[in-house]
Amino acid sequence: MVDEPEVESPAPAEVSEPPAEVVQPPPTSAQPVRSSGLHHAVGRRKTAVARVFLRPGKGVIRVNRKDFEAYFGTPGAYRAIVEAPFRVTSTEGQFAVWANVSGGGTAAQAQAIRHGISRALAEMNEDYHLPLKRAGLLTRDPRMVERKKYGRKKARRGFQWTKR
């Protein structure tokens, strides 16, 4: 057997770890972000669903990442519907609105955004709840399209009857 000289292993160099950064988890729907002034609500009408985000701003309204007029087309067609909660609470031009909306037609989508804005304003400030409720803006309109029945042309309309 050959005697091997013992080799001393070098002492492990102390590795300094970078300081751990405090990372805040992103907000979920269960914990709304109140510190930054962002308020979130969901509005519905017929089959349209709108997720609405309100933040203090200059009155800019964006729908599905587009300007309001670009999304709804004709200028001012649905603006009066969407801005109704701001008129009732006297907060015109004080909030920026971001809305993601899907389903339904353009009128139902505008009414869903209005419902979402109303809910977000009521959540933000309790003083807004009563005027919005009195104006009927917090109530979800339950009217839906009636389903078609078998043996009929539409939901209630029967087929045309011919005598001969």
pLDDT tens, position by position, 35-52: 468 999 999 999 999 999
Query: Across 72-147, where does the E strand assignment appear?
Result: 95-102
The answer to pTM > 0.95 is: no
Distance (Å, whole) CA 112 – CA 144: 13
Taking alpha carbons only, the member of 40, 45, 41, 42 closest to residue 109 is: 45
Residue 19: Cβ-neighbour burial (10 angstroms; 0-12, 13-18, 19+): exposed
Q: What percent of the chain has pLDDT over 70?
A: 77
Q: 87-130: per-residue pLDDT in tens? A: 999 999 999 999 999 999 999 999 999 999 999 999 999 999 99
Residue 25 has pLDDT above 80, yes or no: no
Q: What is the DSSP letter of 56?
A: E
Q: For the stretch 65-77, what's the b/e string if a residue is b when 16 or more beta carbons lie within 10 angstroms of its beta carbon?
A: eeebeebbeeeee
Q: How many CA atoms lie within 13 A of 89 on its CB side?
A: 29
**156 pLDDT above the threshold of 70:** yes
Output the CA–CA distances (angstroms, integers) from residue 65 to 20, 100, 155, in the order listed.
36, 8, 37
What domains can be seen in the chain, in order of their start residue?
39-134 (3.30.230.10)
User: What does DSSP assign to residue 126?
Assistant: G
Strands, sheet with 95-102, edge to edge from the N-terminal-most edge strand: 39-45, 48-56, 95-102, 61-63, 66-67
